Amino acid sequence: MATLLRVLLTTFAVLLLEGTVGSRIAIAGMRPDLSLAWVVYAGLLGGRRRGVLVGLLVGLLQGCLDPEWLGLEGLLLAAVGFAAGGTAAGVNRSHPLVPAALMFLLLLAHDLVRGLVVTGGAVGDAFSQWARFSLGTALYTALLVPAAVALLPLGARPRGRRGVS
Amino acid sequence: MVRRRAARPVLGDWGVLAAAALICTVFLAGGVALRVDAARLLRQTLFLPFRLVLGYGTHPPDLRGEAERLRLALASRNLETIDCEEARRENQRLRDLVDFAARETRVLLPAEVIGRAPDRFGETLILATPAGATVRSGQPVLGVGGLVGCVVEAGAGECQVRTLRNAALRVSGMLSVSRLSGMLRWRPGAGVLVLEGVPLSAVASDSEQVITSGFGRIFPKGIPVGSIASARDDSTGMAREILVRPFVDLERVEELYLLGD
């Protein structure tokens, strides 16, 4: 129950942070994708199941504000959480480069699939948008979020399941 | 000692992913109307605690509505200002064409009420005047809403003002729309101003106001005086008399303005 509450509160806090601070720390129009970063952390530290559930929750909450694609973001972020959780067993999760690399790769994959769906399969448009925005965003997110997490007090950092992380 | 085994979840990792995919697919396949309705429902349920805590559920919509109304009112006033400015320029051109004397531009001098002297003839106010200001007898005195009276005696740093509630004061007034004029004076028994000597054709309508006519050259033309309370034929039956409520609450005035030259 406590874990569920913590996950919910963190999810809302991340969305709140993204909505308020996100635009202020944008560089050349590229904002860090904090919600995807949170899903990656949830999957990495909590496993596939938690990654999927957090991804679904975050995706649906984001979809509330953009009803035209409600469901798409939930599906993609659930997949991101699943993928992040899948890598958890084989890597040293405490190493800061692991979440950074995962964020970078999964954000690129997420944006590419999303671009293809939203543009109706127009590969050229999707790749053009991906190259213009996603590479920078992925790099920015991968550099910023793990660094910010490392600066957090120990108790406030994302934690894995007891005895696993 | 028997170790209790942790309960296995009903769905495995792949099952959770499949369930999540199913939920999302239902939304995606359900059409835009379903997605919009679902998003509204989710917003109303999931964001409700935050809206309540932040007061977002009640105040901002009102504020937004009020801001919208104010913006509309401001835009409307801006348009009116533009029209007024255009009318002023046109008026000036026409006055130039017919060679009227240039309309005077006047300044307002602030003055504070420091005394009130009611007597059996009516009311007189004592005002503290700004240092260095030239105040003369007969100078009009205004409140925020309109005419208050005129200076009857000017001294160093202060002056006495005869207000509209003084029966000794006569003001030449006119109706703002029909432009019919008469003489305004205070009627103590009725507690209102009376515009006397107005032609019988005068009709009391809500759109009319009583303003100064500028006749007699004591009060400039167009200063608002009051609204019409009622109208009736006078005792001779040859004219109408119109009862007028002053715009300025003369019993509560504290800061007034002397209409400067």
Q: Which of B122, B101, B124, B133 is nearest to B259 (CA)?
A: B133
pTM higher than 0.95, yes or no? no
Does residue B29 have a pLDDT over 80?
Answer: yes
Does residue B197 contact residue B238 with C-beta atoms inside 8 Å? no
Contacts of A56 in chain B (CB under 8 A): 20, 23-24
Tens digits of residue pLDDT in A74-106: 999 999 999 998 887 777 777 778 889 999 999
Q: How confident is the model at residue A156 (pLDDT cuts 50, 70, 90)?
A: low
Question: What pLDDT was estimated at residue B148?
Answer: 92
Closest chain B residue to A52 measured between Cα atoms?
B17
Does residue B238 have a pLDDT over 70?
Answer: yes
- Going from N- to C-terminal start, the domains of chain B cover 46-103, 108-163, 171-250
CB atoms closer than 10 angstroms to residue A79: 24
Angle of the A48-65 helix axis to the A34-46 helix axis, nearest 10: 160
Question: What pLDDT was estimated at residue B54?
Answer: 62
Question: What pLDDT was estimated at residue B211?
Answer: 92
Closest chain A residue to B43 measured between Cα atoms?
A64
Cβ of A70 and B43 within 8 Å?
no
- Going from N- to C-terminal start, the domains of chain A cover 2-156
Give the gap in angstroms from C-alpha B90 to the nearest C-alpha of chain A. 50
Of A63, A78, A85, the CB nearest to B21: A78
Question: What pLDDT was estimated at residue A163?
Answer: 39
Closest chain B residue to A57 measured between Cα atoms?
B20
Mutate to test the interface with B, among A16, A52, A162 (most CBs of B within 10 A): A52
Cβ of B46 and A47 within 8 Å?
no
Question: What pLDDT was estimated at residue B3?
Answer: 54
Tens digits of residue pLDDT in B166-218: 878 889 999 988 888 899 988 877 778 999 988 888 777 777 889 999 887 78
Question: What pLDDT was estimated at residue A78?
Answer: 93
Q: How confident is the model at residue B102 (pLDDT cuts 50, 70, 90)?
A: low
Q: How confident is the model at residue A164 (pLDDT cuts 50, 70, 90)?
A: very low
Query: Phi and psi dihedrals of B232, rounded to 5?
Result: -160, 165
Specify the fold of B171-250: Thrombin, subunit H (2.40.10)
Distance set, CA B156 to CA A80, A124, B117, B124, B128 (Å): 85, 86, 18, 17, 9
Contacts of B24 in chain A (CB under 8 A): 56, 59, 71-72, 74-75, 78
Cα–Cα distance between A67 and A60 in angstroms, integer?
Answer: 9
Size of interface A-B (CB pairs under 8 A): 74
Give the gap in angstroms from C-alpha B49 to the nearest C-alpha of chain A. 11
Specify the fold of A2-156: Arp2/3 complex 21 kDa subunit ARPC3 (1.10.1760)
Q: How confident is the model at residue B41 (pLDDT cuts 50, 70, 90)?
A: confident
Mutate to test the interface with A, among B8, B14, B17 (most CBs of A within 10 A): B17
Please report which residue ranges of A21-96 form alpha helices under DSSP H: 34-46, 48-65, 72-87
Cβ of B20 and A60 within 8 Å?
no
> Does ipTM come in above 0.95?
no
Strands (E), chain B: 108-119, 122-128, 140-142, 147-154, 158-163, 171-175, 181-187, 192-198, 209-212, 224-233, 240-246, 255-259
Pairing relation of β-strands B240-246 and B224-233?
antiparallel
Contacts of A53 in chain B (CB under 8 A): 16, 20
Tens digits of residue pLDDT in B144-160: 888 999 998 888 788 88
Cβ of A53 and B20 within 8 Å?
yes
